[in-house]
Each structure stands twice: as structure tokens, then as C-alpha cells.
Structure 1
């Protein structure tokens, strides 16, 4: 009899287990249904899944509304952002944390990030920069500049700021950050700024940075400014500013190492990408170059400035810049080197290929007499070194002047190489397509014919100019597929 009972128990256990699972499943479904219904009626929590690519995934997540955020475009959320970052910083050693910004308009002043942290913006989220100046703390000038760019005193902290951080991600599903820069532009033009205008995003003394899949609008000044940092990935950024807005540079890597900028679209009132490393005697003393920089698949519109500018603040040096697959439309110049006596430093080992330019004032421009000094204490004997500049495989149309290359007397720019470049001049182009002073180099397969100081090396050498075959370390970075469930209040 005992054996019979054991057999019956063994036979019925799977059936019981099956029915238990069925009951549990029904109960879970009912609970979820009630939760959703309750959420719809009482504005409770709703579950949303996020998927994106990032250098790091996070173990913890929270929504801005969990910290009192209100996305009505009028309520100030500076404290909510600060409280959220402060709380989530506790998880830095436990897999990091993500702050989710839901759909809505989130008015905020400046706030700082933390390490092992992701700021994620929903596709319909808009961060609106506050028009209240008190929401922008003032900090000291950058040591490699010695003063602010707009004023000799300090500078307003950027909207999204961070210093001495590791593993920081600012991303989204093409969410928007609107700097509402009109107020700042008016103050700049009216000479009413006591401090330098803020940027939209600035990270200092930091490493392992990702800024991706965002739209940046109407920055008060520069849009993205990594400085004194390394291992930086900037991808899929759209930057839009009125073409007459002052100094609204797109992306400015400044004294940074190992940076990759790719798949970005920029309409700007200044240079689309401006590579920098400090200003005059301050940059020389700080001595931190920008190097190992990759720029690819960039589309730029900048009628009054350059697509890619090297300088003018380049006193710490710029070396090993690789740009390819660039589209320039209605811009003042394709590539511009800006420097002058007193800058010191160097710009060398520059490689650009695969550039298409349409409606340009100059395809190439080098300026050795750029002024705009930090103060009157610069060294008049600090001559910059410009050498190893390589441009190849380019086509341009509707161009007013092929090139304006102006070195420095007694300090010529050397090692300039231009090959396989065809420039179609505009109907009302300058009579002299090239002007060259104090420059030395070579050319091959260039139309119209360059200056005599860039002698043609023959049609068989159209691949004359270098472009490195080996990859930089930043190109080895692989993104992870991140996925999180976010609870939030709509």
C-alpha cells in the first residue's frame, strides 16, 4: 500500500506542478492587468524598456521623476537633477547607475555628473537651459587659457558638467538639449558679460566618455567641450545653431588624447569641429596637446567659419589628427589652420582624405597671423611649428578660391602635401585661385594648379600624401548592447 501511494504521488506531482504554474501565471497576469489599469486611472508607474549601445551598461536605474522632476517646461528641475546624481553616485562601485529622463520639457540650470553613470534622454525629452543666470555657477578659467574666452574673469559652468570622472555616458534616443542661447548671444553682442558664456556639455580631467545620439540646439557658446580628458567617443550628434550666432562651435576637443568623432551633422555659427590645446603662454606652460583624434562621416554647414579648424588656441600642440569622409556645404573653409606669433606649440601630422565640398569660400586656409591673444604677456618669440599637413582625394565645387596659405615670415609652414584634389571654381571666382606665402610642400594631381611652392610631383603620384594605415586605440572600443526596464511617471 505504501509503495502504491508513492507511485501515485510520483505520477501526480507533475500534474500538480503544472496546475500550480498555471494558477501562478493567471495570478501574475491579473496583478499586471490591475497594475496597468490602476496606472492608467491613477497615473501610477508604467514599465518601459530601453535598448541602446554604450561603452558600459548599468546595474541600477532611476527616472528623474523619482526625484521630483516635472517636465512641464516651467518647473525648475536643477535640484531634481542634482539629487538624482547624488543618490545614484552611491552605486558607482556596484555596477553603476543610469538616470532616465522621460518625455517632457525639463527646465534646468547647470548640474554635474558622477562616475560610472549614464544620462539617458527619451526621444521626446527636451532639456531646456534656464534663463535665470543664478542657475549657472561661476568657476575659474581653464589653466591652459589663463582667462575666459569672453571675459578676463571666470566662466559660467556648462549646462551638463563633470570633472575628474571615469566612465561617463550622455546619450539618448535622439533626445534634445536646448541651450536657449538667445539671451547669452544678446549679452555677448551688447558687451554685458562679466564671465564667459557656458557650454552645453563640458567634461574636464575625465576618461572613458561617450556622448551620443542627441540633438543639441542653440548653445550659449560651444556645444561639446571635452578638455584635459582621454578615451572619448562622440557619435550620432546633431548640432543646430543659427549661422550668425556667436562662437557656437560644434565639437571642441581640447588637450585631449584618443578621441573619436563620427556620424555627426552640424550647422553652426562657428567652426564645426575646432581642435584646441590652450592659449598663448598659458597653453605653452600647461603643455597638454590634443593628439590621436579621429573625425569621420561629418556633415557640416558653417557659412562664416571652418568645417575643421586646428587652433587658434593650439599652444599645447596638436598632433595625429585623422579626418575622412567629410561633407562640407556652404561653409567658409573646409580645413583651416589658425595660429600666430606668440602661440608657440605645434600642428603636425595632420591627415585628411575623402572630403566633398560644395559652395565654399576657400577649400584650404592656413593663417599664420591670427591675433586674439589672451593678454599682452605672450612671448613674441614663441613661434608655432606647422608641419606634416596631408590632404588627399577631395572634390570641391562652386568654390571662390582654392586655397589661401599664409605662413609666418622666418617661420614657414613645411611638409604640406596635397594630392588627387579637384576644385571646380565658382562663376565669379577670384582671378588667382591660389595664394601662398611662407609655405613649403609638394602636390600631385591637383586642379587648378597650386602655387610654385607646392611643386607638382607628376600624375603617377596621386596617392602621394600619407594617411596612416594603423588604427588608433579609440577605434578598438566596442560598444555593448544595454537594456533596462525603466519605471516612471508619465
Structure 2
């Protein structure tokens, strides 16, 4: 999914979705945007968006523009316009009590491709009938205001002259009053702008006869589309409907985006959006607050009067916010024509009675299949997921035929439900059950899958039936109820009695455990820093949880590298490779937590190496013997926390203070005051081709290198006593933390080259993000900065967006750069320029990302 999606463009408006794959309805942080003409780069409009989906008005037809937002740019061209008609210039008046005749004549006279414009003010009108090729645009200060006089509303017959369904009511062909905006057999219609369509439900008597008829007709909707194609509704607010708010039937290729749909919470049957017998309908960034279901997907029903006869297929609901409704997304009860291919992704539901509800009953027939709900949050939703084959609708709804739990013969009127998936869902303050599935004994619900679902409960909840059916026991704080339903659930976490834990805890504990169980030594068993990353992660998880499995994994892996005499596989002290020191931290830790002497023997050899390890004249160690006179940020983490940890464990205070001094010296040598970041490396001799001849620094910033330095800072802060050195490192961390917070992506991660969002091909890199998350979280735990929120956001962004599924179906942490360095390596010269860092291989599940990820996860667990 691209960072900027062009959802819709008219001659004078445009609607975008930005960073929608990492956000829900609201962006995690507001993002500034700027719109300019492409040819002159002259600013046309600018602002700040708090929402994932937003619109821009006031554009010129057939003009090239460029949107810049969050370091991304997008070019587009507005549509041409055959005519522009301001209703005020065509007989409509703000003083008129009913402008319908003047507006309708203007619509009828306009050519295809024209724009009908409503300027600021309240435009009172009876029903209007739209035609093909029309764009209706409402100024942000305009209100199209439905009049109260029912006698001025035309009535749509149940069927047209060809016998096709025209008027409808709850899935049946019935006469109904025309809606404020009605389109029949039309195509290429757009309703745009920032104004309000107020259909007048609170005026007149509409809400007083909600299940009845007047003059033989049912109540109108706000927007009604019958047999239309290519319909777009963007930017407007639809409110105060006499009945359902937006109701397309037999309509194809419809987009509704950046729209508010709202009605009085006590208003009867004011569903928000009811696609019925429709195909290819997209809902993006809609805010619902209504008196009934927010979204009700329907497909007609079997009825003696004759129901709508057609399927509903391919419905996508993304980045929407649903509140106060009876249901968030509801399928049925009118579903006789079948409903299939519904996706609900990255949505938020708050204070709705149900989250996703599928409701049907014997006599309906039809098939509900291929429903996916993923990456959604729910709060104070009474029952998050319910599927009910005993819904007691219609006059016979509570009859034995509908409610009997005895099997009935299977026929064309037997409803079917199958292939429903819920994954990566968080539901807080649940009242009844986490999920409830009630299938027919003669036709059980098939193939329901629930994955990565975390549920917490409302403390003041009262027991009530989770579905609307007879003979259902009241439930409070229940789990997954399945009667005549095949449900497979994995990683479902129930948080009870005030317990707190990350919603992803169980999934990630399993991932870390499987990773450690399957891990193979990075360099064939030779001592190396890569294995040291795993050791750090296992130690952190053990200290956070106390679970023996992490200790057992650690001992098994370390003992495969260090024999009983303390000899380390492949270790050559004379290589003076600072990378090899990192694994020594596990040796020190195990020496303190076991009686096995091998660990102290091996650790002593590493201390001896550091005593002889060459240094640059400014103090820090060379990175490696084959990288003379060079200090790399990586090396600060590889060697210095070990030095301090060894010093504390074995009464060598000189090593502790030496580590602090060397870290501060290394940070000073690599610090770039202009960017307020640290360069990857420093050449004391200023002899390397990549080194600046004045500063000795490498050309660019690499996020993982800075990540190593950040982890070195917080680890030494933990080990150092109060004093000037510790204070100086805290000050360094605080400055870096502030700078890094400004460089995050929209979802809270960091780029491979952190200060170059404009660099083509730059990407959110997982190992650096994990390192920074760890540093922020640990600094907060050490009480040296209030930074936990940044760390948690980064960590959760990794869980949500960086994990992939490999060819074997296993979860893997993706987008980890394998390695990056400076100078010659494997026949390649690494020049350290920003572009170079984008050429290195990306390896999923590389330990240099997984180890820090484990460490960050442990910090979160330690906070519980």
C-alpha cells in the first residue's frame, strides 16, 4: 500500500488516503501537508491533517497539482469541466422555502460533465433527481436542507414500467418517498465538497411512523441510488435522515470517502450506509454516528411482495470510525441474494452494541461467505463478533419454525454462513462475550478463524444475551461461544480482573520461543556479535518474565560456542575485532547466574583482548585490526557495556569508568552538529576515501549505527554510578532522543537513512526501529526520560507492519538490512553515501533485528 493514495478527483476537489496501511481513521500523529501547482510550485493550500483520509476543495479544473505530505509527494491532474452552474444564478434563493423546482431545472439543463455548485448558506429543497455525468458540489459553508412538507415529496413506485424494483423497504419492493437526493439508472455521478446534506428527519413527522406507511409509501432516505454505476461521494456530511442515510441498490463501482454520516442516537432505523445487491463498493475514512447500524450490508429478502434479487459482492471498508450505532458492520438480516467478499480493515468502533454482526434466520436462504475483519480496535462494544441464525425479525420471528434448535430439512430457504476470518483485533471493555456464534443444527456455521485477538472487559457490565434470539442465556465477561459452528482460534488473550499486558504478548512470546529454538549459529559456531544479539534478547526476556525457557535457550546456544575450558570457537584475540566482545556480556551474566567456570574463563580472555586492543589517539578502540584508526558507532555498543558489566561483576571499577569515558569520546568524534545526529564512523588518520578530510567523519547517517550507539548509552546509564560521566551520557541521550522523535515515519518507525525522507527508495528499517524502541523504553524505566510512549508506538508499529509470513507460513520480522559498512568488503567498495545504504540486502528474521526486538519486547513486559 502506497503512502499516498488518490481516492477521488473531480474538477474542483480531491480526496486522498495517506499512510492508511499504518493508521486507522485517525493518524497516530498529525501530518502537515502542502498543495502546489506542479508547473510553478506555487502554494495553493496547506494545512494539517489528523485523519488518514481527507479532502481538499477550491481547485481549478484540468490543472496539474502536487501534494507534499510526510516526506512524500504525489502529482495529479483535476478533471475537465463542461460547465459550472451556481444555483444562486439559476433561480435558487436562500430566502425560498423550496428551491427544488429551480434546482431540478438547472440539473436537467446542464450538459454531461458539468458541476452544480451550492454556495454558502442554507438551501431549502424537496427531493432532487440527479442524472449521469453530474458533479454536485457543496461549499464547506453550504447546507442542502430537506423540507418538512411530506406532500411535496414524490413517491417512487415499488416497480418501474419494466417491472424492475424501484422503491424498496427492508429488502422488499415497496413504494417509498423519494430521497432528498435520488439517482436512478445513472452513471458517473459525484457528490463532493465540504458542505452538509441535511435530509430533515427531525422535521415533519418522519420519525413517528417508522414501521408504517403514509399514502401507501415508506419513509425516504437521504441519498438513494438505484441501478447506478460509478458513484462518488466525498467530503460532505450526511445527517438527520428520515430513514436509512445512504442506500444504494443494484449499484456498481461506488466510492464514499472522507464523509460524515450522523443522526440523532434516538432516531429510528437511521442506518448509516446500506449497500444492497451492490458490487464493488468502497468506504474509506467515514465517520459514523447514527441511530441504528453504522453499516448494514444487505442482499434483499424472500417475501410474498417480491424482494430484491441479486448478490452483494466485493465490499471494502477501510479506515472508518463507527460510534454509537447498534452495530459497527452488520450483514443481514436481508441477505437472501447472498453476501460475499467483504473486507473490514483498520477501523475503529466505539460504543456500538455489536462490532461485526451477521444475522439471518430460517426462511431467508442466501449465503454469507468470505468475510475478513482485520487490524481493528473496538472499545465499549457490547459484543464484538456475533453470527446469529435465529434472528427474531419479522412477524414470525419468534415462532417455533425460526427459533427451534431441532434440525429442519435443508432447502433453498436455509441460510448458510462460512469462511469468516477475524485477525489482529483488540476489543476493550467488552460486556457480554468475546465472540458468539449460533448456527443452525441443520446448517452449522463453517470455517470461522480467529487469530491474534485480545479482549478486556468492562468492569460495570451486566449480563445480557449476546445475540437477538430466543432461548439465549445472559452472558457477562464470556469467552468464545460456538453452537453449531466450527471455530478455530489462535492467540486469543483474555485480560481479566484488572490484569494488564500487551495485546500482542502471547503471539510474540511464541515467536521468540520458536525463533530461539530454531536458531542456528550465525557464522557456523564461531564467536560473533550476531549471536551476541540473540543472547542479549534471551537474557532480557528471562529477566522480564523469569521463565526458564529463555535461560535454557541461552545456555544451549552459549555452550555450543564455549567449551568446558573456556575456549571460544573461532576466536582469535589478535584479530582485535571489537565485534567479538558483544557475546562476552552473556558470559559475564552466566558466570553470575551459574556455577560453571567456563564463562568466567572465556570472559577473562575478552578483557585481556581489550587491554591490548589498539586505540585511536583520542581514546576509543579501533573497530578492528583490519580497520585501523577507525571508530565505528557499532563498536561502542560491542565493547563498552561488556567492559562496564565485567567491571561491576568482578570488582574492576576502573573498567566501568573507562567504558564511560570511551563512550563519551566516541560520541564526540562521530557527532554532527548540523544534523544533531551521529555519523556512522570516524577515521582518526583521515586517510580513508570515505572520510571527510576536515572532520574524519563518514558522509551519512545510518539508522542502525545510531541504534547501536543509543543502546550503548542507555545500557551504560544503567551501570554507572551517579556522577559527571553518567550525567553527560544522559544529556547525550536526551538530545538524541529529542532529535530522533522528529524523524519518525507516520506510523512511528525510522528510515534506513533517518534524515533523508526525500531519498528515493528509503524505507522503514526494522532493526534500527527495534533498537530505538528499546532505548526509549529502557530510558523511561531508568527514569532518565519520559519516553515510553515513543518506544511503545515504535514497537507496536513493528508488530503491526513489519511482520511477514514466509513461504512455510511462519511469522518473520521483515525489512531488516543484513549489514552495512565502510571501505572494501567482498569485492565492493562501500563509500558511506546516503544512497549506498539503500543498496544492501534485506534479510527477514536477521538476528541483528530480532535480538533488539526481543530486548524491546522485554522492556515492555518488564513494565507490566
Whole-Å Cα distance in 2 between the matches of residues 236 and 115 of structure 1? Answer: 22
Find the residue that maps to 2:151 and give its secondary structure. Answer: helix
Q: Is the 8 A contact 1:445 1:459 kept in 2?
A: no
Q: Which has the higher contact order (CA 8 A, sep 6+)?
A: 1
Aligned to 2:135: 118
How far the C-alpha of 1:209 sits from its partner, in A, is 0.8
How far the C-alpha of 1:86 sits from its partner, in A, is 0.7
- More displaced stretch, 354-363 vs 58-67: 58-67
Residues 51 and 270 of structure 1: CA distance in aligned 2, closer, same or farther (over 3 Å): farther
Q: Is the 8 A contact 1:146 1:374 kept in 2?
A: no
Aligned to 2:268: 246
Find the residue that maps to 1:436 and give its secondary structure. Answer: strand
Q: How does 1:412-431 map to 2 (within 5 A)?
A: 412-429=444-461, 430-431=476-477
Residue 184 (structure 2) pairs with residue 178 (structure 1): no
Aligned to 1:310: 331
- More displaced stretch, 176-185 vs 248-257: 176-185
Whole-Å Cα distance in 1 between the matches of residues 266 and 121 of structure 2? Answer: 29
Residues 392 and 373 of structure 1: CA distance in aligned 2, closer, same or farther (over 3 Å): same
Find the residue that maps to 2:346 and give its secondary structure. Answer: strand
Aligned to 1:214: 236
How far the C-alpha of 1:54 sits from its partner, in A, is 9.8
Whole-Å Cα distance in 2 between the matches of residues 356 and 248 of structure 1? Answer: 24
Residues 208 and 300 of structure 1: CA distance in aligned 2, closer, same or farther (over 3 Å): same
Residue 285 (structure 2) pairs with residue 271 (structure 1): no
Whole-Å Cα distance in 2 between the matches of residues 434 and 342 of structure 1? Answer: 27
How far the C-alpha of 1:152 sits from its partner, in A, is 8.4
Alpha-carbon displacement from aligned partner over 1:200-230 (angstroms, at most 9, x marks no partner): 1111111111011001111111111111011
Whole-Å Cα distance in 1 between the matches of residues 226 and 77 of structure 2? Answer: 20
Q: Identify the match of residue 150 of structure 2 among 133, 155, 163.
A: 133
Alpha-carbon displacement from aligned partner over 1:28-55 (angstroms, at most 9, x marks no partner): xxxxxxxxxxxxxxxxxxxx96459999
Aligned to 1:324: 345
Whole-Å Cα distance in 2 between the matches of residues 218 and 265 of structure 1? Answer: 14
Residue 188 (structure 2) pairs with residue 167 (structure 1): yes
How far the C-alpha of 1:145 sits from its partner, in A, is 9.9
Gaps of 5+ in 2: 1-56, 62-75, 403-408, 462-475, 496-505, 515-798, 806-864
Whole-Å Cα distance in 1 between the matches of residues 91 and 443 of structure 2? Answer: 60
Q: Identify the match of residue 374 of structure 2 among 353, 356, 361.
A: 353
Residues 190 and 423 of structure 1: CA distance in aligned 2, closer, same or farther (over 3 Å): closer
Aligned to 2:88: 65
Q: Identify the match of residue 488 of structure 2 among 432, 439, 442.
A: 442
Larger radius of gyration: 2
Residue 107 (structure 2) pairs with residue 76 (structure 1): no
Gaps of 5+ in 1: 1-47, 450-455, 466-490
How far the C-alpha of 1:190 sits from its partner, in A, is 8.7
Q: Identify the match of residue 224 of structure 1 among 246, 249, 254.
A: 246
Whole-Å Cα distance in 1 between the matches of residues 302 and 166 of structure 2? Answer: 8
Q: Identify the match of residue 312 of structure 2 among 290, 293, 298.
A: 290
Whole-Å Cα distance in 2 between the matches of residues 191 and 166 of structure 1? Answer: 32
Find the residue that maps to 2:183 and give its secondary structure. Answer: strand
Aligned to 1:17: none
Q: Higher strand proportion, which one? A: 1
Q: Is the 8 A contact 1:444 1:464 kept in 2?
A: no
Q: Is the 8 A contact 1:419 1:464 kept in 2?
A: no
Q: Is the 8 A contact 1:392 1:421 kept in 2?
A: yes
Residue 114 (structure 2) pairs with residue 97 (structure 1): yes
Alpha-carbon displacement from aligned partner over 1:128-165 (angstroms, at most 9, x marks no partner): 10111122111123766996349985111111001111
Q: Identify the match of residue 433 of structure 1 among 457, 479, 482.
A: 479
Q: Is the 8 A contact 2:97 2:124 kept in 1?
A: yes
Residues 338 and 151 of structure 1: CA distance in aligned 2, closer, same or farther (over 3 Å): closer
Whole-Å Cα distance in 2 between the matches of residues 55 and 202 of structure 1? Answer: 27
Aligned to 1:452: none
Q: Is the 8 A contact 1:150 1:197 kept in 2?
A: no
Q: Is the 8 A contact 1:64 1:99 kept in 2?
A: yes
Whole-Å Cα distance in 1 between the matches of residues 167 and 245 of structure 2? Answer: 21
User: When the two structures are superposed, what TM-score results if normalisation uses the length of structure 2?
Assistant: 0.44
Find the residue that maps to 2:419 and give its secondary structure. Answer: strand
